[in-house]
């Protein structure tokens, strides 16, 4: 009897043939196995770029009517990314919804395996085993101190407990904002400057930081533009994330 990450009993048909995904990283993960089964996805689901699924608006404002009309066997959602009321509306319409809850790398690996094997009734993809191997090493002692910005005006950073904080912790990063009450605290530029960081990471999502938008406000601090997909997505990107991000972080470790 399958239960999603929140303990909700979910009974889609076996195997699932029609999926609507409301989470970009989960869309990529599911499409890596059966892209043709993804009949609906959000406007923010950019991987794979050629996915022909019908777009059903965003993660926070999905078009529930359009989703129901697609007659999915299963809708995939996430506790953090999607609103509880939208999940409730879909379930009230008779649509099975599988909700993931992921705040760490280990949770991601377990949750993804359960999603494929218990939620979808599919065989788990090979990249999941590769990701498990890529993250199997011991957690190193902190090698550098970094803040990860996710928004500006106001400035917001990654706190804990979050997937991104745990991912960076496992790469030897000490997060100066880990102990604040909020999982994504609002900070000032003064807070960032006084945090004694080796680098401020500027991902290209959810705020699209670029060379011309972000570093100029932190001209007195080292910054690094990084892929938000590698920092925040739990899917095939987990395979390459440790090696790619480690190279970025190593540059700033040497410059300390």
58-109: pLDDT as tens digits = 999 999 999 999 999 999 999 999 999 999 999 999 999 999 999 999 999 9
5 domain-assigned:
no
Mean residue pLDDT across the chain: 96
206 domain-assigned:
yes
| Whether residue 35 is found in the same domain as residue 121 | yes
pTM: 0.93
139 domain-assigned:
no
Among 133, 167, 194, give the residue marking a domain's end.
133
Among 133, 165, 199, give the residue marking a domain's end.
133
- Chain segment 159-213, per-residue pLDDT in tens: 999 999 999 999 999 999 999 999 999 999 999 999 999 999 999 999 999 999 9
| Whether residue 115 is found in the same domain as residue 153 | no
Name the phi and psi angles at 75, rounded to 5: -105, 135
Among 133, 162, 186, give the residue marking a domain's end.
133
Looking at the structure of the chain, the number of domains it has is 2
203 domain-assigned:
yes
Residue 51 Cα distances to 45, 163, 230, angstroms? 9, 26, 20
| Whether residue 163 is found in the same domain as residue 247 | yes
Residue ranges in the chain assigned as alpha helix (H): 24-34, 64-69, 84-92, 105-114, 126-134, 163-169, 189-193, 228-232, 237-254
pLDDT greater than 90 at residue 254:
no
109 domain-assigned:
yes
1 domain-assigned:
no
| Whether residue 103 is found in the same domain as residue 173 | no
| Whether residue 172 is found in the same domain as residue 89 | no
| Whether residue 180 is found in the same domain as residue 125 | no
| Whether residue 113 is found in the same domain as residue 153 | no
219 Cβ partners below 8 Å, 6+ apart?
A: none
Percent over 90 (pLDDT), the chain: 95
- Chain segment 19-46, per-residue pLDDT in tens: 999 999 999 999 999 999 999 999 999 9
Distance CA 89, CA 225 (A): 38
pLDDT for residue 26 = 97
pLDDT for residue 1 = 73
| Whether residue 197 is found in the same domain as residue 91 | no
Domain range spanning residue 245? Answer: 144-254
* Cis preceding-peptide flag for 21 (omega within 30 of 0): no
How large is the average pLDDT for residues 13-23? 95
| Whether residue 194 is found in the same domain as residue 128 | no
228 domain-assigned:
yes
| Whether residue 129 is found in the same domain as residue 23 | yes
pLDDT greater than 50 at residue 255:
no
85 domain-assigned:
yes
Of the given ranges (22-31, 112-121, 209-218, 247-256), which has the lowest mean pLDDT?
247-256
CATH of the domain at 170: 3.40.50.1980
What's the distance, CA 59 to chain centroid?
12
| Whether residue 184 is found in the same domain as residue 204 | yes
- The vertex-148 CA angle with 233 and 228, nearest 5°, equals 30
């Amino acid at each position: 009897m399958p239960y999603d990450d929140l303990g909700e009993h979910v009974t889609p048909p076996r195997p699932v043939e029609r999926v609507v995904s409301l989470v970009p990283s989960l869309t990529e993960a599911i499409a890596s196995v059966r892209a043709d089964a993804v009949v609906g996805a959000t406007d923010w689901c950019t991987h794979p770029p050629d996915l022909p699924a019908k777009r059903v608006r965003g993660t926070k404002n999905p078009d529930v009517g359009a989703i129901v009309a697609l007659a999915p066997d299963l809708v995939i959602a996430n506790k953090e990314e999607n609103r509880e009321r939208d999940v409730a509306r879909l379930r009230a319409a008779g649509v099975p919804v599988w909700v993931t809850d992921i705040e760490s790398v280990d949770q991601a690996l377990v949750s993804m395996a359960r999603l494929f094997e218990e939620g979808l009734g599919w065989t788990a993809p090979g990249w999941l085993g590769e990701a498990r191997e890529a993250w199997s090493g011991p957690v190193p002692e902190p090698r550098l101190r970094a803040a990860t910005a996710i928004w500006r005006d106001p400035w917001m950073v990654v706190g804990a407990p979050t997937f991104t904080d745990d991912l960076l912790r496992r790469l030897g990063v000490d997060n100066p904002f880990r102990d604040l009450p909020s999982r994504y605290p609002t900070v000032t530029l003064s807070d960032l400057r006084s945090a004694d960081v080796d680098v401020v990471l500027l991902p290209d999502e959810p705020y699209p930081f670029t060379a011309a938008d972000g570093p100029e406000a932190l001209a007195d601090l080292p910054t690094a533009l990084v892929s938000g997909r590698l920092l925040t997505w739990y899917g095939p990107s987990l395979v390459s994330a440790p090696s790619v991000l480690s190279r970025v972080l190593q540059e700033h470790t040497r410059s300390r």
